[in-house]
Amino acid sequence: MSKKPMAWGEMIRLNNRAFCIFFKRYPQMVLSRLLSVIWNALTPYAGICFSALVIDELAGSRDAGRLRFLVLLTLVSAAAISLLSALLNKWKETQNAGVWWKVNQLFTEKLLDMDYVSRDEARTTEILFQIRQNQGGTGWGMNRVIRDYEELCSSVFTLVGGFSLTVSLFGSRVPESAGAYTILNNPLFAMLMIAVMLMITYIAPVLSNKAESYWALSVKFLNRANLLYGFFGSLGYHREIATDVRMYRQDKICDINNKENRENSFGSKGIMAKYGRGPMGLYHAASSAVSVIFTGIVYAFVCLKAWAGAFGLGAVARYIASITKVSGGMSGLISALGDMRNNAAFLVPVFEFFDIPNNMYQGSLTVEKRRDRKYEVEFRNVSFKYPGNENYALRNVNIKFEIGRRLAVVGMNGSGKTTFIKLLCRLYDPTEGEILLNGIDIRKYNYAEYMMIFSIVFQDFQLFALKLGENVASKTAYDRGRVMDSLKKAGFAERLSELPDGIETYLYKDYDKNGVNISGGEAQKIAIARALYKDAPFIILDEPTAALDPIAEADIYSKFNDIAGDKTAIYISHRLSSCKFCDIIVVFHEGAIIQQGTHDSLVADENGKYYELWHAQARYYTENYFSGY
Ligand code: ADP
């Protein structure tokens, strides 16, 4: 736990930076919120002034005509203010709609824009998690910035309005006939009063900020407590773990009421509760007490002056109301500054995240769109280490293949197959060596264009709870014919004919009660259809069939041979039987290519890894099964 609060200069820099991000991205939202609070800060003074005039008239000359006029003026101004307030409020509400989403959008955009290598780094996930926990759990971070600026504006304008109505209190003179009370005219007395008021107004929010600072001082604890509440507390929401939770009664370990969790969380034994009972609570109580003392002193001073004849009843009402406002404004100002200082500690990880650089070289060469789809890919002495890892995931990989070929990448789990694909589609750059497309280093190509030549179905592909057609096309406006065709080729035709709304049917029930639940195999067919719809020259299946049995996998892989047509198809599997039919089979072992050739040539090499794996796997399946392929 860091005990040192942040320096003021640093806190202003961090808050301003966050404010500018919001203002640049959502100017209307920021403007509407600030104008609204400024308006709300100033308008009460109109009411205070008009009612003071009415009171003065009632207590003074009691002219019925003038009284009528003043009451009418008060009513009209109140109506006009309410009308404008309502308009401003509507504007603010409209602009502020989905503010949570808007904040999230800032993070999502950064995530989507960042190099995949940075996205994949453990530190990125760690900061992001921390940010989300701070935001979701206790509301610290970006979400708080505009709120703090609102409070700042509101208090500054309250102070400006309040001061301008209060200045005359100190200037107004008690008549000489008031005897001892004339001491109130002494400028030293007025200065002493102002000093006492300022001091008290300052002390109250400082005490309150001191209490609130325990949040910032407990950042580390809060992260853990937020984790408990954020993830475990909402365990029931995660569909994907619903079975595990039931089978292993995981709700028990996550119960926020069990002893350990209670001590580590926001429960009655947690550290925040201890602070609440101790210093935090005391500071809050002291802050409230000081505010009451302030009000007492103001009342006494104003009443004394009025008693001595310095001003009338209307002015008493005006001074008391506006000084109370000044006190509120001062508290607001100090509390806003204190909150900004506390929040700045939570903005540090936010900017660490936003400042993650994009270091990947972005080439400019256009990827040649060849009608004959003649592409040649070559890995030349490629070695690769994952960032922060000492060990090579790939070592001296050399391979060349042409479009239209069927390439199988086989090997045991962890042998480097997926890494090979990630390098091919430039999610990472090689640590050593180079990858060439038609003889040119892939780093020199325009990145977005280069990505367009690959369709990949990854092992952990994800489908959205949207319409089937949208899932296949990855767009809301899509070519229905092509979607149907892709689904048919992927073997989904029969299931499609049963769907109530055809390709308009929603997957899952998250957004539509008529949505359909799909099996692992069906999901995988949809994922393949999505890859086909993209119609890229390279199509890669990276064990998307891991959830299927070997027979179903081999069935899909061999059918895919026809579907892929003239595209280059790369199949990855640790099940050798699935890839038997490929033109070239590349065997990976501990990050290196140790064998390549056709199935027949590889299986004939009795000393090779392929032979060993083939026979080890064959034991699991029947002779009948293999003879079928
Ligand atoms: P395969 O696809 O053959 O199962 P991978 O290519 O996924 O193997 O993994 C190759 C090696 O790289 C393994 O030792 C694995 O632990 C490591 N590895 C994979 N992904 C990462 C990652 N994101 N960060 C660090 N190491 C990784």
Quick one: residue 458, left, alpha or beta (phi over 0 = left, psi -120 to 50 = alpha)?
A: beta
Number of domains in the chain: 2
575 contacts 550 by C-beta, under 8 angstroms: yes
Residues with CB under 6 A from ligand 1: 120, 386, 389, 393, 411, 413-419
Domain boundary among 335, 354, 373: 354
**Centroid of chain to Cα 588:** 39
Tokens representing residue 543 in the block: 């064990």
Residue 255 is assigned to a structural domain of this protein: yes
Domain boundary among 354, 370, 392: 354
What is the number of the ligand 1 atom nearest to the C-alpha of 389? 25
How does residue 628 score in pLDDT terms, banded at 50, 70 and 90?
very low
* 341 plus 480 within the same structural domain: no
* 197 plus 345 within the same structural domain: yes
521 C-alpha to center of ligand 1: Å? 25
Q: What is the dihedral of CA 566, 571, 577, 582, to 10 degrees?
A: 40
Q: What is the mean pLDDT of residues 111-138?
A: 87
Sort 460 into a burial class: Cβ within 10 Å, 0-12 / 13-18 / 19+: exposed
Of 210-224, 396-410, 478-492, the one with minimum mean pLDDT is 210-224
What is the number of the ligand 1 atom nearest to the C-alpha of 572? 2
- Best of 418, 421, 588 for a ligand 1 pocket test (most atoms within 8 Å of beta carbon): 418
The Cα 204–Cα 327 span in angstroms is 10
Model pLDDT, residue 244: 75
385 C-alpha to center of ligand 1: Å? 10
The Cα 393–Cα 432 span in angstroms is 12
416 C-alpha to center of ligand 1: Å? 6
349 C-alpha to center of ligand 1: Å? 28
Sort 388 into a burial class: Cβ within 10 Å, 0-12 / 13-18 / 19+: exposed
Task: Residue 138: give the domain boundaries.
Answer: 98-354
What is the number of the ligand 1 atom nearest to the C-alpha of 388? 25
419 C-alpha to center of ligand 1: Å? 6
393 C-alpha to center of ligand 1: Å? 6
- Cα 338 to Cα 1, 6, 347, distances in angstroms: 19, 10, 14
Residue 34 is assigned to a structural domain of this protein: no
Smallest CA separation from ligand 1 atom 13, residue: 414
Q: Which residue has the higher pLDDT, 617 or 261?
A: 617
Residue in 343, 219, 227, 235 with CA at minimum distance from that of residue 272 = 219
Helix 187-217 vs helix 142-171: crossing angle, to nearest 10: 170
Model pLDDT, residue 626: 44
User: Residue holding tokens 């003879």?
Assistant: 627
Smallest CA separation from ligand 1 atom 17, residue: 393
The Cα 334–Cα 206 span in angstroms is 7
Quick one: residue 402, left, alpha or beta (phi over 0 = left, psi -120 to 50 = alpha)?
A: beta
At residue 16, does pLDDT exceed 60? yes
* 227 plus 109 within the same structural domain: yes
Of 67-76, 213-222, 467-476, 559-568, the one with minimum mean pLDDT is 213-222
Q: Count CB-CB contacts under 10 A for residue 582.
A: 21
594 C-alpha to center of ligand 1: Å? 17
558 contacts 515 by C-beta, under 8 angstroms: no
311 contacts 305 by C-beta, under 8 angstroms: yes
What is the number of the ligand 1 atom nearest to the C-alpha of 413? 4
* 123 plus 262 within the same structural domain: yes
394 C-alpha to center of ligand 1: Å? 9
Q: Which residue has the higher pLDDT, 125 or 367?
A: 125
Q: Which residue has the higher pLDDT, 256 or 184?
A: 184
The Cα 32–Cα 20 span in angstroms is 15
Residue 286 identity (one-letter amino acid):
A
Smallest CA separation from ligand 1 atom 16, residue: 414
- pLDDT, one tens digit per residue, over 325-370 is 888 888 888 889 989 988 999 999 999 999 999 988 888 888 876 6
Smallest CA separation from ligand 1 atom 15, residue: 414
At residue 185, does pLDDT exceed 80? yes
Backbone φ, ψ for residue 134 (5° rounding): -60, -45
* 465 plus 332 within the same structural domain: no
418 C-alpha to center of ligand 1: Å? 7
Q: What is the mean pLDDT of residues 55-63?
A: 88
CATH of the domain at 467: 3.40.50.300
Smallest CA separation from ligand 1 atom 22, residue: 386
At residue 602, does pLDDT exceed 60? yes
The Cα 80–Cα 76 span in angstroms is 6
Residue 139 is assigned to a structural domain of this protein: yes
Residue 611 is assigned to a structural domain of this protein: no
Tokens representing residue 575 in the block: 């099940």
Residue in 304, 283, 295 with CA at minimum distance from that of residue 326 = 295
Residue 401 identity (one-letter amino acid):
F
Smallest CA separation from ligand 1 atom 26, residue: 386
Smallest CA separation from ligand 1 atom 19, residue: 419
Residue 46 is assigned to a structural domain of this protein: no
* 347 plus 474 within the same structural domain: no
Q: Which residue has the higher pLDDT, 257 or 308?
A: 308
The Cα 251–Cα 291 span in angstroms is 46
554 C-alpha to center of ligand 1: Å? 24
189 C-alpha to center of ligand 1: Å? 78
CATH of the domain at 117: 1.20.1560
What is the number of the ligand 1 atom nearest to the C-alpha of 588? 3
Of 30-39, 67-76, 145-154, 287-296, the one with minimum mean pLDDT is 287-296
List the 538-542 sheet strands across, edge first.
454-457, 538-542, 568-573, 406-411, 584-589, 592-597
Q: What is the pTM (predicted TM-score) of this model?
A: 0.76
Smallest CA separation from ligand 1 atom 8, residue: 414
- pLDDT, one tens digit per residue, over 440-491 is 999 999 998 898 889 998 888 889 999 999 999 998 899 999 999 999 988 8
End-to-end CA distance of the chain: 63
Q: Count CB-CB contacts under 10 A for residue 122.
A: 9
Residue 333 is assigned to a structural domain of this protein: yes
Smallest CA separation from ligand 1 atom 7, residue: 418
**Centroid of chain to Cα 300:** 51
420 C-alpha to center of ligand 1: Å? 10
What is the number of the ligand 1 atom nearest to the C-alpha of 415? 3
Rg (CA), the chain: 36
Domain boundary among 354, 374, 404: 354
Model pLDDT, residue 227: 64
433 C-alpha to center of ligand 1: Å? 19
601 C-alpha to center of ligand 1: Å? 28
* 348 plus 485 within the same structural domain: no
- pLDDT, one tens digit per residue, over 133-161 is 888 767 889 999 999 999 999 999 999 99
Smallest CA separation from ligand 1 atom 14, residue: 414
Of 45-54, 350-359, 365-374, 563-572, the one with minimum mean pLDDT is 365-374
Q: Count CB-CB contacts under 10 A for residue 218.
A: 19
Model pLDDT, residue 22: 96
Of 59-68, 95-104, 238-247, 557-566, the one with minimum mean pLDDT is 238-247
Q: What is the mean pLDDT of residues 63-77?
A: 93
What is the number of the ligand 1 atom nearest to the C-alpha of 459? 2
Smallest CA separation from ligand 1 atom 12, residue: 393
How does residue 395 score in pLDDT terms, banded at 50, 70 and 90?
very high
Strands 454-457 and 406-411, how do they pair?
unpaired
How does residue 253 score in pLDDT terms, banded at 50, 70 and 90?
low
Residue 151 identity (one-letter amino acid):
E
What is the number of the ligand 1 atom nearest to the C-alpha of 542? 2
Q: What is the mean pLDDT of residues 163-182?
A: 87
Smallest CA separation from ligand 1 atom 21, residue: 386
- Containing 538, the helix (H) or strand (E) segment is strand 538-542
Residue 157 is assigned to a structural domain of this protein: yes
What is the number of the ligand 1 atom nearest to the C-alpha of 416? 6
* 464 plus 350 within the same structural domain: no
386 C-alpha to center of ligand 1: Å? 8
**Rounded mean pLDDT of the chain?**
86
Residue 281 is assigned to a structural domain of this protein: yes
Q: Which residue has the higher pLDDT, 304 or 268?
A: 304
At residue 121, does pLDDT exceed 80? yes
How does residue 229 score in pLDDT terms, banded at 50, 70 and 90?
low
At residue 70, does pLDDT exceed 90? yes
User: Residue holding tokens 């950042």?
Assistant: 219
- Best of 117, 395, 413, 419 for a ligand 1 pocket test (most atoms within 8 Å of beta carbon): 419
Q: CA triplet 485, 489, 494: central angle to 5 degrees?
A: 85
218 C-alpha to center of ligand 1: Å? 36
Model pLDDT, residue 231: 67
At residue 627, does pLDDT exceed 60? no
The Cα 285–Cα 288 span in angstroms is 5
Backbone φ, ψ for residue 437 (5° rounding): -115, 120
The Cα 480–Cα 174 span in angstroms is 87
217 contacts 2 by C-beta, under 8 angstroms: yes
Q: What is the dihedral of CA 420, 422, 425, 431, to 10 degrees?
A: -70
- Best of 116, 386, 541 for a ligand 1 pocket test (most atoms within 8 Å of beta carbon): 386
Model pLDDT, residue 388: 82
Q: What is the mean pLDDT of residues 297-314?
A: 89
Model pLDDT, residue 544: 65
